Structure 1
């Protein structure tokens, strides 16, 4: 069963955020700003404390002065930061000597993010970020507000930003409609199919390599490898026994990584709820740090359905979206997941609910060029030839076994080409790709920003062309929206058809 979220305080009414009245942040705002700033210098401060401060206490003075300056700046921010609600905008004023007044129209706010860490929850406060499509930073970042004020501000932006009629506004003020909730077993499945544990292990390795003394990490890995293989060799007297023991150790490492992935999924996605408030979608999740993101449905630029091997074994998929909020570094911004994991029928039902005018899944998928698999197999063939040359140079005749990669790459290319396809109607363009790991990428024609026809020399030789479609807000890890290796005539006809449809819609704007 779904674990209920902690009860939030009743949000203050909209009248408690009067129009035109400037408001301060929470009195403890400076403390949270100070902690956020210190986190950025945590590694250098620890390195200075343990490796640079031996024998002379005065060597710690620069670090102490830096902390004192950051604390003063945090207090300065609290005393100079104000915000007020206008009739159609939020105004943020900051600075004393160099003053800044920023106006953020409600209609331009793409995402309202309310974040609560454990420390936030102890003091019943929250951080609010107002995101738009411009720039690589939030339009307004309020560190921090009282929790009831934060929720009231989120609701106010939600109601005024969509310019909804009275009936919609009344519905929006009520409790949102629950579209999807992930119980604990589903979150465990999400951890099993994800690679979050491997990402953490790789990040810890990279951090240790940078922070610890030179060669320490390399020596530790070499020692661990010698002990592991020595232990495996002691379990079996022949090479079969040693091979089984090594395989068991590798399996144990994979199990531990998956358990770490499950733990991370429980921390990040505990209590996941997707709700619809009028014309806005809101997602809340998190065990230790609660995150709440809200985005208008009209701001969704593109959609992605993902399905890996483990997804298929568990009969699950994931549904993600692109919004026009720009991501910066590792900072999580905007709403990117509507269904981190769910049965395929549930994902399809969500798409049909949120895109009622589109037919999903498409009834007719059109194939690629009949010889598209030749084009896809070419890169694998070149790799096999280079690999074989290297193996022959090192191992002699035995290296010719590298040529076995050629039939394997041809088989994989055939599977990719057989499953790939595209669909187009008056509302939606969709592309499906992949065999081992599959994805479906689609977007409304209204949201397309640019079209491009691409042909390499090999494409021209085979009479093929590829069509690349660009939409705003595509993430760095999102697959491209492209239709590869079509017959050239079909690609040009498709380019003209989509271009005409996009042009007609922009004229109606």
Structure 2
């Protein structure tokens, strides 16, 4: 399907001008303010300068709008832009992974959206269309999907595991298995997140600590340089102590009650900020299945609408914090081909990968995970989990003791350098005595929860780890790029090895498939089995 080159929506002139103004507003205001103070024109001169700059930004937006065109032709999305330095970008529709929408409050008022077209080539969008009307967006999506369905390679998809073993099954007279990848005729709603779940997610998270850190940074700037804020807090505490000594027996508890109340207030504010973050980011969350694509939309002020093809999911990871486990909740992250996270990732990337499903009750978790890959049978409790042996536990216990001893020596050295106290060694010994049982307990809990297993269908592998923040992740044989086995000098001393599995994406799920401290026979047997399975299966990016 070919189309004529199309321009962006005319309102994009305003958004382009505003984008330039947003990047330069601070220096423009400073120049205008200095001109108002030093120029004989005064405020009128500053206003005129600002008006000229705004008009210039509007002209920039007009030029970008006039020379920016996009079209679909010969199975490619073609984007041209530029006046002096012209650019033409051809993106094969067969390689388009996501067509995501981002709508802030003004976009929604005007009925337009920013469109981001992504492939599996990297972390940056291949094309950003600022902005299109919602009707043009739907038309573009339909044209892309129609062109993709005309590609021979994007028709019905076989199960790659079955394809890798088709010849062996044929010799036994068995029928190879296939995955029914026919397009779904209707849209199926998989998950709607109500406001109550977002409130629980905010209570279970520590997102509010980030905002508290920002407030403390602002206060430190307002109250003085260096450690002035800490000095003022210290003086306040000292004055409180002096007051408690000088005051009567009936009022000493009042000052401490104030501090306890302030601490409770801070904790409440932190939780409220966490709730606000989840509500602003994920309000109205809806996950739908349409034509083998997962479509999600969410956001209170900035509305994000994104599409994730199921065939491109490389990694599924389930996360549970301590508070989430207590509330019987979990969150799901995914990784797609080329979907490694970046420091300044945009809203669509954050939602579709790092926070794919921000919160979900345990009772609905297994059903939703099974929808993320056709034919996936997911039951975490029924998996044949294998754990590390007792030698690994012994090694972890020894590492925990050595770690606590090292921290104790550092505490003793720091205390001696700061105070030159004869009790520095005793302080370090006390720290080691406190940390040793804590570290041993933590290592035992980590060893108890760590495990790895193979899916009952034989199409992938699963790993679980963590005693505080627990993670259970799954990948599939047709997504594995490499299997490696390594050993350090300490591994050789214990006759152990470390096995790793790499896929085409890593980062957003914050979890990797790494099996440490495996006994050499177990590591060798597992490496040979995984290598033989992955070598007989063609890796699937789509």
Task: Report the TM-score when normalising by structure 2.
Answer: 0.80
2:379 is the counterpart of 1:366:
no
Q: Which residue of 2 aligns with 1:417?
A: 447
| Structure 1 residue 137 displacement after superposition | 2.2
Distance 2:97 2:218 in 1: 34
Supply the distance in 2 between the matched residues of 1:208 and 1:62 (Cα, whole angstroms). Answer: 34
Find out whether 1:35 has 2:18 as its counterpart: yes
SS at match of 1:364: coil
Instruction: Please say if residues 133 and 326 of structure 1, whose CA atoms lie closer than 8 Å, have aligned partners that are also in contact.
Output: no
CA distance change for structure 1 residues 243 and 388 in 2, over 3 Å: closer, same or farther? farther
Asked if the contact 2:70–2:80 (Cα under 8 Å) also holds between the matched residues in 1, the reply is yes
Q: Return closer, same or farther for 1:79/1:383 CA change in 2, 3 Å cut-off.
A: same
Rounded to whole Å, the distance in 1 between the matches of 2:210 and 2:454 is 37
Measure how far apart 1:298 and its partner are. Answer: 0.8
| Pair 45,445 (structure 1): closer, same or farther in 2 beyond 3 Å | farther
- Mark the CA change 1:458 to 1:168 in structure 2 (over 3 Å): closer, same or farther: closer
1:200 CA drift (Å): 3.2
1:369/1:464 contact within 8 Å kept: no
> What does the per-residue CA deviation read over 1:267-301, in whole Å, with 9 as the maximum and x for residues that have no partner?
11110000001110011000111100101101111
Over 3 Å counting, the alpha-carbon distance change for 1:245 and 1:392 in structure 2 is farther
Give the CA deviation at 1:244: 6.3
User: 2:344 corresponds to which residue?
Assistant: 330
Aligned-partner Cα distance in 2 for 1:235–1:67: 60
Give the direction of change, closer, same or farther, for the CA distance of 1:312–1:53 in structure 2 (3 Å limit).
farther
Aligned to 2:10, what secondary structure does the other structure show? coil
Does 1:464 pair with 2:496?
yes
* CA 1:508–1:208: 2 relative to 1, 3 Å: closer
Q: Please give the TM-score of this superposition, normalised by the length of structure 1.
A: 0.85
- Per-residue CA deviation, residues 365-419 of structure 1 (Å, 9 max, x unaligned), is 0011322234434554344223322433424324321112011101110110011
Deviates more, 1:94-103 or 1:260-269: 94-103
Alignment of 1:69-80 (within 5 A): 70-80=57-67
- Residue in 2 that maps onto 1:7: none
**What is the distance in 2 between the residues matched to 1:353 and 1:413?**
35
Q: For 1:45 and 1:126, locate their aligned partners in 2 and report how far apart those are by CA, in whole Å.
A: 28
User: Mean alpha-carbon deviation: is it higher for 472-481 or for 20-29?
Assistant: 472-481
Select the structure of larger CA radius of gyration.
2
Which residue does 1:85 correspond to in 2? 72
Shift in Å at residue 353 of structure 1? 2.7
In 2: Cα distance, 1:121 partner to 1:423 partner: 46
CA contact (8 A) 1:114 1:127 kept: yes
Q: 1:233 to 1:109 in 2, by over 3 A?
A: farther
1:15 is aligned to none
Q: CA deviation at 1:84?
A: 1.0
1:507 positional shift: 8.1
Query: Could you say if the C-alpha distance between residues 186 and 42 of structure 1 is closer, same or farther in structure 2, counting changes exceeding 3 Å?
Result: farther
* Count of residues in correspondence between the two structures: 486
CA distance in 2, matches of 1:151, 1:217: 54
Query: Using a 3 Å threshold, how does the CA distance of structure 1 residues 419 and 507 change in structure 2: closer, same or farther?
Result: closer
CA, structure 1 residues 65+312, in 2 after alignment: closer, same or farther (shift >3 Å)? same
**Aligned counterpart, 1:261:** 274
User: What residue is the counterpart of 1:194 in the other structure?
Assistant: 205
Give the one of 64, 88, 98 matched to 2:85: 98
Deviation per residue, 1:254-275 (Å, 9 max, x gap): 2101101101111111100000
| Distance change in 2, residues 1:461/1:81 (3 Å) | same
1:191 Cα deviation (Å)?
1.2
Residue 253 and residue 352 in structure 1: after superposition, are their counterparts in 2 closer, same or farther (change >3 A)?
Answer: same
Contact map agreement 2:473 2:511 (CA 8 A) in 1: yes
1:321 Cα shift?
0.4
What residue number does 2:177 align with?
A: none
Of 454, 462, 468, 1:430 maps to 462
**For 2:242 and 2:15, how far apart are their aligned partners in 1?**
53
Partner in structure 1 of residue 160 of structure 2? none
Q: 1:235 to 1:508 in 2, by over 3 A?
A: closer
Instruction: Give the direction of change, closer, same or farther, for the CA distance of 1:508–1:141 in structure 2 (3 Å limit).
Output: closer
**Larger deviation, residues 343-352 vs 374-383:** 374-383
In 2, Cα distance between the equivalents of 1:278 and 1:157? 13
Could you list the runs of 5+ residues in structure 1 that have no partner in the other structure?
A: 1-17
CA contact (8 A) 1:357 1:427 kept: no
What secondary structure is seen at the aligned counterpart in 2 of 1:110? strand
| Equivalent position SS for 1:405 | helix
